[in-house]
Chain A
């Protein structure tokens, strides 16, 4: 287990006074402090870690967020921002001496502008909620993390969320034009807007993916895009991971950028098939789901080109959807993948490393060897076009030894990703989970520069502390010249 810092005793001792100070700022009904109610906020998507906070505050306006932050800053109270609590890296994991600021009541869509193709929403609107609000005009919000039904746009900003379609449409950072943020000093800042280029430093760029450590986001302006005329999927199965990996390289090398290019290995295929009955080829060692866009003729043309490429790699089977229903059937297993794995194992860890795609065969081979050595099964599902791996390590959380081995196995996979030229996390964030691995990827100077930027925003390190950066180094002091 990864250690959390000792709570500040002087904060715990002042608990009642702190709650009494916050209540008038947001109204007493917006403060949760009863132990049985706090239980719902003890953890996030990294469910093996639990910690009740001092209290949870549920503001409804940006001004209330500002008032709470001003108070916490003055009182030296740590703050953990929270959206839907779907983080897979422990990004929303509370601390015993921290106030959780939950943004879920700020769930209004403020403006939708189809002419300038932007929407402004509060941080607690769900990812899919944005698309749902603009779908009647055939528009959509592009980043589509698997948790999109539940996860909130504020959390997407914090983690710079991706999804299956970001090979073509980019991640959150590429789709955000404006933010309203509250600094730890309780100052409200409007950054960017409905225009494309920012003036001054790239505040949107540094805030997106900052894991709630620089400021709290309360409103977001995103680009909305007109959907293509249609999409269609094909499935190609191969006799080895190596061959499937080579096929991915050939597709990208051909000049085609599919909207999605997903890879599943044999254990993942079997788990998903047992769950979803999608008709996946059980004799295959690896399988690709490839999705293209356009009208019928454009889809036909692209699928023909892709069919030609896949046939060069001796596929054991190829299935091209003829209708949207057949496409949905191909996606059905992949979309239910996490649930499917949940059925065959009581618990699993979902890793999120990224590798150069040329390293795919080598990395999958090594993961297979590690799986045998640790005695833990692993299923590999990933976004092949961009090299974002999601190995699911199966373990039993009731067995402390099994969990410790799974964490060690996961860390070994991530170290391997870095060793072959990749990184620790492609879309889940560092959070608590990968905090202590940061020195594997970054030099002390690299990390110090990041810490200094954190200090520039949050000099006392009150915002979501003890995440992202190893606890071994004291926060640096930055003084403006």
Chain B
């Protein structure tokens, strides 16, 4: 990535893409490249960055909206929101430690990868809160979809397609999000000495209760001992964690009721406000995974009750793992080879789920699929939709699938 072009405005992005389209020259699309090690490496001589499109362009707290340039660091947005007692609903992770990168993640990269944190189980993914965006398609034409209001069904929702398309359909230049008031208080219940299946059953009971649980994770002992917030609370084989966020009286009342409802799983320990926040930030960023530098990392999305089956496959490889989303998100770190990849992805598929090879050495992530291969009919649709945005195939080619 020696030649990085970082235009100062949308017109500059459009001009750069238009020129590349005419020359049929592939472009690697980045913000700050904090997630460059994800998915497949892009073979492109030139790199286009949105990092100069930085800055909050609208924040109207009483209307629950915020808009910012795609290159705005997430931390800048989180700080501005916190100043008004608000937060990002999907709680997006900061995966720099996991991915071995340093530059701050941007809004564009976060929406483009549709990465969501623990609150996704209760309040939706990053893509669910994108109200509107401006982007430049693969012909260098600026387009707009959605808007700045909370409800909008006018025309096709291109925001959803572009979010999570990993820069392969269009380059976002500005994004408008729904935001919400940050909770006054958070509290967590910890149920220790549970195995994975019982832990997931406890979390299902918590998520099926009327107490609005907004975080549900299970950490095997090996993953839990790394977290200071859990010191003294963890017994083998692992700990189930349920979070409640709301006004202080509600958190006090509901954690008490939930502890009573979960009594059949053991005596719940309480983790109060500050420690609870630290704990869920660590879970958000996959800190408990404790991935070793030589490991590959997978993110498996599965029905929550299917989580333990996938974890068993990881354990059989001597891999490390933990659950978020009540068992529905399985983080796995294991040896980086094709056999491990096959074992994990087969287990995910057998449980009816999908997976992403989040981190792997370049040779491995070039040779293996990093997302589940699409069946022929869907493959045809994928190519046609790609062509509808990027007919020359120049935006992040090969990032998601070889040859697309």
Contact = CB atoms under 8 A, between A and B. Distances in A.
A301 B143 contact: no
B127 A226 contact: no
A117 B160 contact: no
Contacts of B382: 200-201
Contacts of A166: 151
B11 interface: no
B210 A189 contact: no
B156 interface: yes
Majority DSSP secondary structure for residues of A touching B:
loop
Interface in B69-99: 85
B329 interface: yes
A165 to B, nearest CB: 12
A227 interface: yes
Contact of A423 (B124, B152, B184): B152
Contact of B181 (A257, A388, A443): A257
B354 interface: yes
Contacts of B144: 442-443, 446
Interface stretch (B47-55, B161-169, B270-278): B161-169
Interface in B85-117: 85, 114, 116
Interface string B196-230: 00000100100111101000000000000000000
B281 interface: no
A162 B148 contact: no
A387 interface: yes
B40 interface: no
Contact of B160 (A206, A426, A468): A206
Interface string A171-185: 101100000000101
Interface stretch (A57-65, A262-270, A355-363): A355-363
Interface in A409-459: 421-430, 434, 438, 441-443, 445-447, 449-450, 452-457
A208 interface: yes
A308 to B, nearest CB: 14
A456 B387 contact: yes
B374 A193 contact: no
Contact of A202 (B153, B164, B299, B374): B164
Contacts of B356: 199
B46 interface: no
A426 B153 contact: yes
Interface in A345-366: 354-358
A294 interface: yes
Contact of B253 (A297, A386, A446): A297
B154 interface: yes
Contacts of A252: 61-64
Contacts of A160: 153, 157
A461 B304 CA distance: 39
A138 B211 CA distance: 13
A425 B356 CA distance: 36
Interface stretch (A68-76, A320-328, A473-481): A473-481
A226 B210 contact: yes
Interface string A186-226: 01010101111111111111101110000000000000001
A354 B301 contact: no
A211 B331 CA distance: 37
- Which of B150, B374, B389 is the most central at the interface, judged by chain A CB atoms within 10 Å of its CB? B150
- Which of B184, B329, B388 is the most central at the interface, judged by chain A CB atoms within 10 Å of its CB? B388
Contact of A114 (B116, B156, B208, B303): B208
A295 interface: yes
A255 interface: yes
B204 A301 contact: no
A388 B151 CA distance: 7
B181 A256 contact: yes
A253 B181 CA distance: 8
Contact of A199 (B169, B182, B201, B355): B355
Contacts of A456: 381, 384-385, 387-388
A396 interface: no
A468 B384 contact: no
B290 interface: no
B319 interface: no
Interface string A116-129: 11100000000000
Contact of A227 (B148, B210, B352, B386): B210
B287 interface: no
A347 to B, nearest CB: 24
A194 B352 contact: yes
B391 interface: yes
Contacts of A449: 137, 141, 143, 145, 158, 388-389
A453 B153 contact: no
B325 interface: yes
A201 B164 contact: yes
Given A193-B303, A442-B144, A202 B114 contact: yes
B153 A298 contact: no
Contacts of A425: 152-154
Contacts of A193: 303, 352-354
Interface of B: 60-65, 85, 114, 116, 120-121, 124-125, 127-128, 137, 141-145, 147-161, 163-165, 169, 180-182, 184, 201, 204, 207-210, 212, 247, 249-250, 253, 299, 301-306, 325, 328-329, 352-356, 371-372, 374, 377-378, 380-389, 391-393, 400
Given A200-B400, A255-B182, 13 more contacts: A118-B303, A183-B381, A191-B378, A202-B127, A202-B163, A206-B156, A354-B151, A387-B63, A426-B152, A430-B153, A438-B155, A445-B141, A478-B387
Interface of A: 113-118, 138-139, 159-160, 162, 166-167, 170-171, 173-174, 183, 185, 187, 189, 191, 193-206, 208-210, 226-229, 249-250, 252-257, 294-295, 297-298, 301-302, 354-358, 383, 385-388, 421-430, 434, 438, 441-443, 445-447, 449-450, 452-457, 468, 478-481
24 contacts: A115-B204, A116-B204, A139-B208, A173-B157, A193-B353, A195-B302, A196-B121, A196-B125, A196-B325, A198-B301, A198-B354, A201-B161, A203-B378, A255-B85, A302-B247, A385-B150, A388-B150, A445-B142, A449-B388, A452-B389, A453-B388, A479-B387, A481-B391, A481-B393
